[in-house]
Structure 1
Amino acid sequence: MPTPTLLVTGSSGLIGSEVCVHFAERGWQVHGVDNNQRAVFFGPQGDTRWNQKRLQEQLGDRFQHTELDIRDRPGVLALLDELRPEAIPFDDFDTNATGTLNLLEATR
């Protein structure tokens, strides 16, 4: 049986990196996508490359990284066409998008 593949967006961030570790330790092949956008937003103190490197060292061949801005629709389509992951977690999306929507609704 082939090893299942998980695609994790924001893989160098707080939630994404822990999702990577969790699933890699359970036998999944984890493919992380991150473009270090935090460094753009917050400057050098927001840089997450250290976490990307930690994942690569800790998880070895169970982790692969793709430098990609997920707003790049053709890039995302090409990556998914290539990888065909069995799963993509919604944890980070729920935290960010749903949390933002809750704040907007509360403000309205």
Structure 2
Amino acid sequence: MFSYLVTLSGANFYPSQLSKLSKLNVTTRKDYGETSKSGRKIESGYISIEANSIQELHAVVMGIKEESNITEIEFNVIRYYEEQCNLEFSANELKLITDLNAHLCISCSKNS
């Protein structure tokens, strides 16, 4: 099983103002200037969104890039496995990730 997660961040980024936020599977969200649990102000707004495919996340990110001040994109692929962890990305999937100019993080986690 795969899990795809993208985190978008940037100074002066207010994810709560995104027009299509309710339709997204948001796992974390903080606006620029909010106060964190420790009492410090958030210096960069950020949002983490989970999806079922790279293509789905690409479309979401492209829409967000058009309407906000994101400066950094981190793309996470998590592979849950039983016996062996093998990963393969199509040329199209890799192109979608590089089109976003995103950092790519790959994690493998053994099912327990």
TM-score by length of 2: 0.36
Structure holding more helix per residue: 1
Structure holding more strand per residue: 2
TM-score by length of 1: 0.37
